[in-house]
Amino acid sequence: MEPLLQVRNLETWYGPIMAIQGLNLQVLPGRIVTVLGANGAGKTTLLNTLAGVIDPFKGQVVFQGQAVHGLDADEVCRRGLVLVPEGRQVFPFLSVKDNLSMGAYTRRDADGVRSDLERVYQWFPRLRERQAQAAGLLSGGEQQMLAIGRALMAKPRLLMLDEPSLGLSPILTKEIFQIIRRIREETGTSILVVEQNAAVALAHADDGYIMELGRIVAADTCEVLAQKADVRHSYLGGGHATGLSGTAQRWKQRKTWR
């Protein structure tokens, strides 16, 4: 099976700092892929580079068989690679319905837009109830639903989610990830999700990558990753640290992953 997304030797810099270092990653059609890592690992930089928000210094991003690295973000979105940014970033003074309509601004199929709007309301019934309300008055969970719904209005082939659980309760986090799985099952949309809640991400995704300092240090199916001792210790709360801070143990794990 040919990958929907293929990332090869990606390198991205912030001024003098190399944020992404020779990264390789792929997403197969119809799969949910998660990227895990601590703050500063480069996860958000990775998604922004894939979405065209940041230009890579080196490497290739191939989507549906065509190179998209270096394209403007709006063109990348038109091709079906759509980002839900960290922190939701809804338009606070626009209504819920107008926010959703903004996701479809590149489309010209009015009937299809109406049909997709109805589908978004089916996935997120609370958005239908609040469609006339200003987005800035929604709760954090409702804003996350709105941000995902807005991205879905662009008809993505690959939906990228940056920290969808950020600031949400465990119950809302579980609900969001259940809807993510439902979207994949009902539409066949591939999903790439960056997440710090490793337990939830590994439970709902198919394939996973672990990032450290801009590099991929482990990659496998989520079922296999969840059983690895170093993943369990660093991300799932298992294992035993040596010393008060556990620094020595984490150093050994990083060397093992590489």
Please write the tens of the pLDDT for every residue from 176-186: 999 999 999 99
Judged on CB neighbours under 10 Å (0-12, 13-18, 19+), 8 is: middle
Give the sign of the dihedral formed by CA 166, CA 224, CA 63, CA 180: negative
Average of per-residue pLDDT values in the chain = 89
99 band by pLDDT with thresholds 50, 70 and 90: very high
What does the pLDDT average to over 226-254? Answer: 60
**Strand intervals (E) in the chain:** 5-14, 17-27, 32-36, 58-63, 66-67, 81-84, 158-162, 190-195, 207-212, 215-221
Can you give the pLDDT at residue 16?
Answer: 87
- Domain architecture of the chain: domains with CATH: 5-227 (3.40.50.300)
What does the pLDDT average to over 63-69? Answer: 96
- Which has more pLDDT, 138 or 1? 138
pTM: 0.89
Other Cβ atoms within 10 Å of 1 Cβ, number: 7
234 band by pLDDT with thresholds 50, 70 and 90: confident
What does the pLDDT average to over 55-63? Answer: 96
**Stretch among 75-89, 91-105, 229-243 having the lowest mean pLDDT:** 229-243
Can you give the pLDDT at residue 250?
Answer: 44
253 band by pLDDT with thresholds 50, 70 and 90: very low
Distance CA 113, CA 52 (A): 24
Q: What does the pLDDT look like over 114-165, one tens digit per residue? A: 999 999 999 999 999 999 999 999 999 999 999 999 999 999 999 999 999 9
Can you give the pLDDT at residue 238?
Answer: 62
pLDDT at 251 over 70: no
Report phi then psi at 61, rounded to 5.
Answer: -125, 110
**Stretch among 43-47, 63-67, 106-110, 206-210 having the lowest mean pLDDT:** 106-110
